[in-house]
């Protein structure tokens, strides 16, 4: 066995010698990771005949390196002591190396090994990176990011052939490589269990770091609580060193207009115009007094002054900054409207079902696959479609078409375009369709469930072939268009009834997003209503600062068949009616006050009630707008054709004229079935 041991490493030495002379090896004895390291060393110009480490830091430089990585040293020291006791029979050194490749500490008591370490400069302060001393356990483990053992002539530099070492990288709780733990000794004392032992040691150090981080966070937040006495009249905010708000007090809520839960976790640049300067102050541990600062509140931008104070952690590292805003007499005023929201920012709400829909939409934005958005009227399907487009990075435009708003005979030409003279009344020069207009961007097909069957056939072909032919033409036009479709219809039911093509349905629903109705996310009503009140107050030049508590009970007890769009209309109505700075229950539409009788209990809501509510809402709007179909449809957020069908469905045609052309066989059959 001993002869075999020496024979293998003598053969490795011959291969090392061949490599240095010819850059090749003759036998498959050298491991691939070692050979790749040799090749890197050759490229880096490492001297294969050097006898010891060449780069060493001492004195204040070494002291500074240790202080900078004190947390790693504290976490590793007990593990190194245990490691040394386990390997004492082999005379090994336990070695800790920092993230930059310099040895921070060594532990060992075997005189032979210590003398060998001094001879090769394997001492604290020495740099043991691969590009400095060639292939070795420490430096090569850092390069490949995994544990490795290196013995004898596997080392690139001849002076290290007397060593055997097993090394494993150490990663921070955030996953960053921050050091290496190593066991090293004379090459002929190689221990095959050393690699497994060193990997276990690295894991133990990483666990110590995680525990230390948890302890520091607990301690840090305990310190922060001292700053946040709610009796403090000034708005106080804390930003951590990643640039996010981690704590605010009650005064901040009052000034900024947002609840704590809406502020915590937000990026600093969403609140402060000079957040980068604040982050610099955190890292530099600098305090500043009376700094002029612009703060984004819910109602606009505030100009005020601020005191910024850094907060240190357990090891005196920078963890956060405390910002105290000062609202001096005359210094608090709005200088502009809040910046326009875009993308997913326009979708307000914190209910889990909404956040899940947003999560799926953000995933969908990274793909070009078709998206199908399902939800009741007024749930914000168009907002989701536009947000997906804006987050996708597609350079082309967002083009929308309402498949239920166009007459049957026009939807084909609107979608696919036509050539000159294709039909009576066609433009002589022809006209591009929505597909061509959306080239390079997104085409949003709203109310896809209302698309005629014959158009569905053509649409499917365009989606499959990614080419469009204008009506009356022959030229195929290549397309680069992302499709997002939406409907409030039950497409699976329409497929079973042969009113929607099954193949088109499966082509569109590659990625499906369901939007929950407002009655299932009532916790978002205060946020949404306040948003709409602020919006219409600004539009009408009013200052609405208070909402009477009685308003919330009425809004919460209503089941919102028109969803967010109906809530928006109610907010607009209330702002128009309000005569002072307060909205009370008397400013809400009268039908809301009777909403408690709509349900048998707070946990049930029948489909019959929804139908009756919709009928009542349409009747109310017809009365309000004097029978003007266009205005009623706009208020409901639906197409005129859809409104005509609902008039027929609810028997309201006796009072308001319904053009015969707008009543289809589907409507008649629906009425008979109900």
What's the token pair of residue 379? Answer: 């749930």
Same domain, yes or no, for 76 and 126?
yes
| pLDDT computed for residue 129 by the predictor | 95
SS (H, E, C) 524-560: HHHHHHHHHHHHHHHHHCCCCCEECHHHHHHHHHCCC
For residue range 21-57, list pLDDT tens digits in order: 888 888 788 999 999 999 999 999 999 999 999 999 9
The Cα–Cα gap between 611 and 592 comes to 16
- Shared-domain flag, residues 282 and 383: no
Q: Is the pLDDT assigned to residue 332 strictly greater than 70? A: no
Residue 435: CATH number of its domain:
3.40.50.300
pLDDT value at 630 more than 50: yes
How high is the pLDDT of residue 3? 41
272 domain residue, yes or no: yes
* Residue at which a domain ends, from 495, 514, 533: 514
Instruction: Indicate if the pLDDT at residue 79 is higher than 80.
Output: yes
Q: Is the pLDDT of residue 125 over 90?
A: yes
Q: Would you call 541 exposed, middle or buried from its count of C-beta atoms within 10 A (0-12, 13-18, 19+)?
A: exposed
Q: Read off the pLDDT of each residue in 165-188 and give the average, rounded to a whole number.
A: 93
Residue 348 is predicted with a pLDDT of 86
Q: Residue 461: give the domain boundaries.
A: 344-514
Question: In this structure, are 321 and 348 located in the same domain?
Answer: no
Tell me what the mean pLDDT of segment 383-398 comes to: 90
569 shares a domain with 542? yes
The whole-model pTM stands at 0.44
Q: What is the pLDDT of residue 288?
A: 80
Between 558 and 281, the more confident residue is 558
Confidence check: pLDDT of 599 > 60: no
Q: Which range has the worst mean pLDDT, 187-191, 334-338, 349-353, 486-490?
A: 334-338
Residue 441, pLDDT above cutoff 80: yes
Q: Is the pLDDT of residue 66 over 60?
A: yes
State the virtual CA torsion across 355, 359, 365, 368 in degrees, nearest 10.
-120
- Give residue 218's pLDDT: 59
- Within-domain flag for 222: no
Residue 217: inside a domain: no
- Among 311, 304, 306, which Cα is nearest to 331's? 304
309 and 287 belong to one structural domain? yes
Q: Are residues 64 and 166 in the same domain?
A: yes
Domain annotation covers residue 11? yes
pLDDT band at residue 546 under the 50/70/90 scheme:
confident
Q: If you average pLDDT over residues 509-515, what whole number do you get?
A: 92
Q: Which two tokens stand for residue 155?
A: 């080392």
Residue 352: is its pLDDT beyond 80? yes
Of 169, 184, 212, which residue is a domain's last? 212
468 falls within a domain: yes
Query: What per-residue confidence (pLDDT) applies to 395?
Result: 84
Q: 560: domain CATH number?
A: 1.10.8.60
Res 262: pLDDT? 78
pLDDT surpasses 90 at 634: no
* Confidence check: pLDDT of 661 > 50: no
Residues 593 and 549 in one domain: yes
Q: Report residue 662's pLDDT band, with 50, 70 and 90 as the boundaries.
A: very low
Quote the number of domains for the chain: 4
Q: Would you state the pLDDT for residue 673?
A: 28
- Whether the per-residue pLDDT at 342 is higher than 80: the answer is no
Percentage of the chain exceeding pLDDT 90: 35
Same domain, 265 and 126: no
**Same domain, residue pair 38 and 120:** yes
More confident residue, 631 or 488: 488
Length of the chain as a residue count: 674
Mean pLDDT across 664-668: 37
Domain end, chosen from 326, 357, 383, is at 326
The average pLDDT across 521-527 equals 88
Same domain? 608 vs 634: yes
Would you list the DSSP string of 195-257?
HHHHHHHHHHHHHHHHHHHHHHHHHHHHHHHHH--TT--S-EEEEETTSBEEEE-HHHHHHH-
Nearest CA-CA partner of 183 in 141, 133, 212, 143: 141
Residue 249: give its domain's CATH number.
3.30.450.20
Phi-psi region of 125 (alpha: psi -120 to 50; beta: other; left: phi over 0): left
Q: Is position 219 within any domain? A: no
Contact 216, 241 (CB under 8 A): no
Separation CA 142–CA 622 (nearest Å): 74
571, part of any domain? yes
Say whether pLDDT at 582 is over 90.
no
The DSSP output letter for 56 is: B
Q: What is the mean pLDDT of the chain?
A: 81
Average of per-residue pLDDT across 489-508: 91
Residues 429 and 362 grouped into a single domain:
yes
Q: Are 465 and 559 in the same domain? A: no
What percent of the chain is modeled with pLDDT above 70? 82
Maximum average pLDDT range among 14-18, 451-455, 577-581: 14-18
In the predicted model, is pLDDT for residue 602 greater than 70? no
> Which is higher by pLDDT, 184 or 427?
184
The answer to the question of residue 336 being in a domain is no
- Quote the pLDDT of residue 660: 42
């Amino acid at each position: 066995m001993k002869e075999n041991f020496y024979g293998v490493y003598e053969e490795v030495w011959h291969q090392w010698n061949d490599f240095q002379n010819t850059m090749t090896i003759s036998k498959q004895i050298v491991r691939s990771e070692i050979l790749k390291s040799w090749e890197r060393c050759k490229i880096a110009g490492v001297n294969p005949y050097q006898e010891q480490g060449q780069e060493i830091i001492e004195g204040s430089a070494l002291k500074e390196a240790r202080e900078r990585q004190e947390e790693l040293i504290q976490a590793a020291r007990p593990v190194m002591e245990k490691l040394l006791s386990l390997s004492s029979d082999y005379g090994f050194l336990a070695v800790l190396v920092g993230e930059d490749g310099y040895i921070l500490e060594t532990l060992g008591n075997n005189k032979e090994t210590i003398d060998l370490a001094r001879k090769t400069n394997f001492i604290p302060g020495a740099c043991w990176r691969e590009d400095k001393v060639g292939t070795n356990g420490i430096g090569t483990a850092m390069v490949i990011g995994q544990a490795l053992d290196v013995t004898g002539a596997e080392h690139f530099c001849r002076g290290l052939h007397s060593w055997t070492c097993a090394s494993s990288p150490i990663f921070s709780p955030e996953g960053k490589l921050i050091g290496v733990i190593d066991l090293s000794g004379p090459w002929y004392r190689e221990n095959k269990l050393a690699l497994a032992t060193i990997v276990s040691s690295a894991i133990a150090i990483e666990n110590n770091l995680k525990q230390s981080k948890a302890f520091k966070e607990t301690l840090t937040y305990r310190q922060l609580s001292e700053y946040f006495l709610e009796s403090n009249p000034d708005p106080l905010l804390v930003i951590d060193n990643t640039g996010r708000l981690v704590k605010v007090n009650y005064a901040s809520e009052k000034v900024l207009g947002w609840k704590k839960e809406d502020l915590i976790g937000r990026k600093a640049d969403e609140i402060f115009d000079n957040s980068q300067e604040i982050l610099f102050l955190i890292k530099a541990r600098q305090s500043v007094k009376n700094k002029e600062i612009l703060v984004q509140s819910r109602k606009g931008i505030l100009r005020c002054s601020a005191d910024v104070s850094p907060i240190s952690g357990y090891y005196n590292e920078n963890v956060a900054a405390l910002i105290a805003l000062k609202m001096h007499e005359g210094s608090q005023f709005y200088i502009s409207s809040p910046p326009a929201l875009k993308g997913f920012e326009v979708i307000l709400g914190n209910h889990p079902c909404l956040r899940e829909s947003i999560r799926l939409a953000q995933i969908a934005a990274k793909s070009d696959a078709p998206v199908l958005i399902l939800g009741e009227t007024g749930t914000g399907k168009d907002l989701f479609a536009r947000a997906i487009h804006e987050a996708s990075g597609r350079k082309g435009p967002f083009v929308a078409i309402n498949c239920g708003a166009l007459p049957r005979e026009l939807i084909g030409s609107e979608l696919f375009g036509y050539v000159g003279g294709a039909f009576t009344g066609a433009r002589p020069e022809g006209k591009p369709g929505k597909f061509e207009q959306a080239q390079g961007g997104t085409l949003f097909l709203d109310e896809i469930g209302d698309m005629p069957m014959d158009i569905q056939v053509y649409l499917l072909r365009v989606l499959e072939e990614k080419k469009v032919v204008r009506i009356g033409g022959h030229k195929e036009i290549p397309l680069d268009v992302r499709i997002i479709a939406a409907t409030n219809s039950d497409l699976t039911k329409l497929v079973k009834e042969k009113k929607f093509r099954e193949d088109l349905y499966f082509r569109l629903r590659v990625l499906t997003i369901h939007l929950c109705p407002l009655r299932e996310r009532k916790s978002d009503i205060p946020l949404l209503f306040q948003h709409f009140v602020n919006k219409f107050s600004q539009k009408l030049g009013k200052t609405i600062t208070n909402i009477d508590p009685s308003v919330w009970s009425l809004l919460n007890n209503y089941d919102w068949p028109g969803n967010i769009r109906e809530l928006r209309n109610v907010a607009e109505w209330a702002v128009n009616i309000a005569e002072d700075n307060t909205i009370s229950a008397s400013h809400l539409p009268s039908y809301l006050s009777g909403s408690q009788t709509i349900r048998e209990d707070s946990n049930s809501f029948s489909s019959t009630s929804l139908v009756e509510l919709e009928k009542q809402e349409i009747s109310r709007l017809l009365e309000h707008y004097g029978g003007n179909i266009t205005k009623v449809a706009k208020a409901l957020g639906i197409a005129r054709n859809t409104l005509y069908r609902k008039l027929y469905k609810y028997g309201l045609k006796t009072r308001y004229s319904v053009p015969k052309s707008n009543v289809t066989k589907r409507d008649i059959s629906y009425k008979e079935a109900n």
